[in-house]
Structure 1
Amino acid sequence: MLTNPTHTSLVAVGDSFTEGMSDLLPDGTYRGWADLLAARMAAVTPGFRYANLAVRGKLIGQIVAEQVDVAAAMNADVVTLVGGLNDTLRPKCDMGRVRGLLEEAVERLAPSCKQLVLMRSPGRQGPVLERFRPRMEALFACVEDLARRHGALVVDLYGAPALADPRLWDVDRLHLTSEGHRRVAEAVWQTLGYTPEDPDWHVPPPASAPPGWLSRRTADARFARRHLLPWIGRRLTGRSSGDGLPSKRPELLPYEGPGT
């Protein structure tokens, strides 16, 4: 693989993972791995342009309908596509339909860019992952197959021990912390062929004393009240956390931060 290639533009397509939740900035907006990656690419390529079409809560059908053609029309050097995981977490999920939509997205995006990047999304240790693991792994098998057939790169976040560590996940247990997003940015950076800044991004943080029983139960109760119950409510009413929200960065424009 080339070292420090020249990429002049990046378009990110997807859901909350690519939008950057829960890497919160002081102004209340989210940064995330795609912004961090864009900042690093911009630092080595003057005039670098970046768009992020991601919106939290989007299913793969919505990503295809709302983001894919927009991204393809931008003819960027690099396009990242991460989608379908929200579908696998729904009580009812037609994996055949998910695979078909993901294939449609790849078939439309791959010819439009110099390099398409797909991912095996990270999975936090715990009972939620175990419940949905078969669907997730079916999705990732589809990602690997599409990458082989269309010349896309695959970033294996699912197989990275660090990104399974609960300490790198926010209190909602669905989104990575700032440190988690930093590691994802590093993983994509290296997969694209740039010189590693953190060769050990996949290694978990040093061991720490586990929280006590009372701390765990308190955290579980807080999680259920603030995150799990609202999430269930949205599922039951057919609503999404991204309803009515625009794309994070809808135009392919020169990138000037924040991202560090």
Structure 2
Amino acid sequence: MDNAPDASADAVVTHPWTRYVAMGDSFTEGIGDPEPASPGGHRGWADRVAEELSRGHNDFAYANLAVRGRLLQQIVDQQLAHCLSLKPDLITLSAGGNDLIRPGGDPDALAEKLDSVVQILSLGGATVVLFNGPDTGSTVLGRIRSKVAIYNENLRTIAARHDAVIADMWSLRQLNDPQMWNADRLHFSPLGHHTIAAMVLDSLNVAHTLEPLSPKPMPQRSWREARSGDLVWAREYFVPWVVRRLRHRSSGDGVTAKRPLPGPVFGPGVPLGSGEGPPGAEDPVRS
């Protein structure tokens, strides 16, 4: 990210896209980056990317279909047709992480399913951005590191086959900083979302105003303080997560997309509701 092109706050960002649709789960919804003023109450890396892409582009529109807890097949069933109906020229897709975390998650089988999805998304000529998984010691994600690595290699093959762009989180070593992560140790913090947004824009070769931040190292904790923090995390985050898995429930049950229709990123045209609206509703931006 240190090589990011410089752009002033008022500069017009040069890029070819006019309509961006984000697909995915909690990562793309923006969980971990709370913002009451944003649709759905969360901002996230996708909103931050859209904000940069919209600078100087009055006709730029952005929709975010992501819903927390969604598995790959649910994303396909609930978001793919909606995305295609919006006729985007830029699509980001992050999917498969929730599948890999679950017992029996097969990175090769997931990649085979994802390959056909990317093929469909790319048929209309849209630029498709795929996310590989981060290489992190996070308590949950660190346990599936080998599966993530296999999935990542499959993603590179898929991207090469369909001329997609890889947003390379595996190589984003800044994510090893604990300050990049939310208290649940599974989602990213506002700083993490900011860092990922800058990486996505760099991957698209788009100049932006997101300056790399160098957070101060976290103070060294004593063994007793660290143990206490682990117990609090387990009680508030890990145990409820395990219970939901055992009950076959998702954190996204009853949640709808925060930006189901494309609209301006800034100004009065931004939807202020909870993201409700039928996938087939009339598109107010482009007929």
Query: TM-score under structure 1 normalisation?
Result: 0.91
CA spacing shift, 1:107–1:79, aligned 2, 3 Å: same
From 164, 186, 203, the equivalent of 1:152 is 164
- Whether 1:60 and 2:72 are equivalent positions in the alignment is yes
Structure 1: gaps spanning 5 or more residues: none
Deviation at 1:136, TM superposition (A): 0.6
Deviation at 1:230, TM superposition (A): 0.6
**Secondary structure of the structure 2 residue equivalent to 1:10:** strand
Deviation at 1:95, TM superposition (A): 3.0
Whole-angstrom distance in 2 between the partners of 1:11 and 1:112? 14
Sequence identity percentage = 36
Partner of residue 61, structure 2: 49
Structure 2: gaps spanning 5 or more residues: 6-12, 271-287
Q: Deviations over 1:161-186 (max 9, x none)?
A: 11122221011000010011011111
Q: Deviations over 1:118-154 (max 9, x none)?
A: 1113343245333201111111111111110001111
Instruction: Tell which deviates more after alignment, 109-118 or 142-151.
Output: 109-118
Instruction: Tell which deviates more after alignment, 236-245 or 192-201.
Output: 192-201
Partner of residue 245, structure 1: 255
Deviation at 1:43, TM superposition (A): 1.4
The one-letter amino acid paired with 1:18 is: T
Whole-angstrom distance in 1 between the partners of 2:155 and 2:142? 20
Query: TM-score under structure 2 normalisation?
Result: 0.83
Q: CA RMSD in A?
A: 2.0
CA contact (8 A) 2:50 2:62 kept: yes
Whole-angstrom distance in 2 between the partners of 1:90 and 1:233? 13
Aligned length: 255
CA spacing shift, 1:26–1:255, aligned 2, 3 Å: closer
The one-letter amino acid paired with 1:226 is: E
CA spacing shift, 1:127–1:231, aligned 2, 3 Å: closer
Whole-angstrom distance in 1 between the partners of 2:141 and 2:264? 38
Instruction: Tell which deviates more after alignment, 81-90 or 99-108.
Output: 99-108
- Whether 1:214 and 2:214 are equivalent positions in the alignment is no
CA spacing shift, 1:236–1:31, aligned 2, 3 Å: same
The one-letter amino acid paired with 2:154 is: C
**Secondary structure of the structure 2 residue equivalent to 1:22:** coil
Alignment of 1:1-260 (within 5 A): 4-26=14-36, 29-198=41-210, 200=212, 205-256=215-266
Whole-angstrom distance in 2 between the partners of 1:75 and 1:114? 8
Whole-angstrom distance in 1 between the partners of 2:239 and 2:139? 17
CA contact (8 A) 1:15 1:83 kept: yes
